[in-house]
Amino acid sequence: MTALTIPAMANAHSHAFHRALRGRTQQGTGSFWTWREQMYDLAGRLTPDLYHELARATYAEMVAGGIGAVGEFHYLHHQPDGTPYDDPNEMGRALLAAADDAGIRIRLLDTCYLTAGIGQPAEGVQRRFSDGSAEAWAERVAAFDDDRVGAAIHSVRAVPKDQMAVVAGWALSAGRPVHAHLSEQPAENDACLAAYGLTPTEVLAEAGVLGPRTTLVHATHLTDSDVRTIGDSGCFVCMCPTTERDLADGLGRASDLRAAGARISLGSDSHAIIDLFEEMRGVEMHDRLRTGVRGHWSARALLDCATVDGHASLGLDDAGVVTIDPASPRTAGTGADDHTAVFAAAAADVTQVVIDGHVVFDGDHGRVGRDLAAAIDKVWQ
C-alpha cells in the first residue's frame, strides 16, 4: 500500500519543560491552580543544562509525531532567585540549541512575565520569570540577535496593561509575531474585570496588541463581543484541546472564532499529550460537545490548522513532509487520505519526517522514549 504523506505540522504553543509533569499532575483532584503549584516546583529545579536536555528530548518527541516547527512560549529566564545569568538569555539559548539538536524549526516566543497577578509583585519561583519591567524585557530580548526570537505577553495577570504596548511594539518593529495567553480561566476574566472594568480581550485591544501578527492562546472563556473583536482584528487563535481538557479549562469556541474571521492554529501546550493528530480531532470534538452538533470542521480545514495556519501564526513557511503508515491498527481500512490523517492517525503512525530536505526522524519511536526517560529522570533526581 502506498504511504500517506502530509505537510509537516506546526506546534504553535509549547512549554517544553512541562513535559516532565506528564503522569504526575494527573494524580488526584484539583484545578488549573493546583496544577500550577506542581508546575512551579518543576520550574524551580531547572538549570540551563537540564533544560537543554529535557527540551531536546521533548522536541524529538514532537518531530517523531510529525511536527516540523514549534512555538516555544518561554518565560523561564533567570536563576531561581531571579538574578540573571551571566548571559541573561542563557535559558533561551538552551532552547534554541535543543531545537537544533532535535532537527525542529523554532520560534522562541520570549515571554514578558512581570507580576503574580494584577497588581501583585512576582514571588517565589515567579522571580525566575520576571525582568522587572517591559522595558527591561525588551532590552534583554534585543541582546539575543537571533531572528528566530519572537515575543509573548504571558497574560493580563502577568503583564500590566500599561506595559503591554512595549512588548507589542518590539514585535512590530522587529517584524516578529507576538503571542499571549487569553481567557484561559474564568478567574482570570473576573480579576481583569475587577481591575480594569474590561475583559482580557478588551484590555489587549486597548493596549494595541491585537492584529494579524498576534496569536491568542486558548481564548476559552469569551463573550460574543470578544469573539467579534478577535475576528475583526485578524488574529490567530491557538487552540490546545488536550491541555484544555486535561486542566479542566473548558471548551473553546473554535468554529465561532473561525466564522468571525480568526485563523485557528494548534498547540500541545503542557504536553499532557504530544500528538497534533489528536489536537486536530479535539477542535472538532470540542465543538461537538459544546453545541451538540457534528461536522463543524472538514478534515482539510483541520489539517490546515495544523499546517498552513500553524506555520503562519509563527511567522514561518511550511518546510517539511511527514509520512504516515496507512496500515497501522489505527489507520488500516480508512482510505489513506486526509480523513485518515485527521480522524484516524496518531503520532505513533509517523514513519518518517523530512525537514528542509533532511530526514530528521526515521521511524525509531523507541529511541525517542528512551531519551525522554533519561532526561526526565535527571530533572526529578
Write out pLDDT tens, residues 320-378.
999 999 999 999 999 989 999 999 999 999 999 999 999 999 999 999 999 999 999 99
Residue 33 pLDDT > 90: no
Residue 87 is among the residues annotated as catalytic for this protein: no
* Residues spanned by the domain of 85: 12-380
Strand order in the sheet with 358-361: 4-7, 320-324, 350-355, 358-361
pLDDT score of 29: 81
Q: Given the C-alpha cell 452538533, which residue does it identify? A: 293
**Extended strands (E) in the chain:** 4-7, 9-14, 67-74, 105-112, 115-117, 120-121, 149-153, 178-182, 214-218, 236-239, 263-266, 320-324, 350-355, 358-361
Measure Cα distances from 64 to 60, 125, 132, 215 in Å: 6, 32, 38, 25
pLDDT score of 30: 78
What's the pLDDT tens digit per position in 108-164? 999 999 999 999 999 999 999 999 999 999 999 999 989 999 999 999 999 999 999
Domain total in the chain: 1
What's the pLDDT tens digit per position in 6-20? 999 999 999 999 999
Q: Which of 218, 271, 296, 311 is catalytic?
A: 218
Residue 274 pLDDT > 90: yes
Residue 1 pLDDT > 70: no
pLDDT score of 149: 98
Amino acid at 193: L
pLDDT score of 228: 98
pLDDT confidence bin for 99, thresholds 50/70/90:
very high
Residue 5 maps to a domain? no
Residue 41 maps to a domain? yes
Q: Which three cell numbers stand for residue 80?
A: 531561581
Residue 25 pLDDT > 90: no
Q: How far apart (Å, rounded) are the C-alpha atoms in residues 165 and 134?
A: 9
CATH code at position 306: 3.20.20.140
pLDDT confidence bin for 28, thresholds 50/70/90:
confident
Measure Cα distances from 333 to 69, 276, 307 in Å: 30, 21, 25
Q: Which of 110, 131, 249, 269 is catalytic?
A: 269
Q: How far apart (Å, rounded) are the C-alpha atoms in residues 99 and 302?
A: 26
Q: What is the mean pLDDT of residues 231-248?
A: 96
pLDDT score of 352: 98
Q: How far apart (Å, rounded) are the C-alpha atoms in residues 150 and 179?
A: 8
Residue 192 maps to a domain? yes
Residue 2 maps to a domain? no
Of 243, 298, 330, 173, the C-alpha closest to 25 is: 243
pLDDT score of 24: 83
| CA Rg value for the chain | 19
pLDDT score of 319: 87
**344 touches 330 (CB < 8 A):** yes
What's the pLDDT tens digit per position in 257-269? 999 999 999 999 9
Q: Which three cell numbers stand for residue 134?
A: 517591559
Residue 347 maps to a domain? yes
What single DSSP character describes residue 85? Answer: P
218 burial type by CB count under 10 A (0-12 exposed, 13-18 middle, 19+ buried): buried
**19 touches 58 (CB < 8 A):** yes
Residue 1 maps to a domain? no
Amino acid at 291: T
pLDDT confidence bin for 90, thresholds 50/70/90:
very high
Count other C-beta atoms under 10 Å from residue 268's C-beta.
30
Residue 269 is among the residues annotated as catalytic for this protein: yes
Whole-model pTM over 0.95: yes
Residue 259 maps to a domain? yes
Output the average pLDDT for the chain: 96
Q: What is the mean pLDDT of residues 24-52?
A: 87
pLDDT score of 27: 78
Query: Percentage of the chain surpassing pLDDT 90?
Result: 92
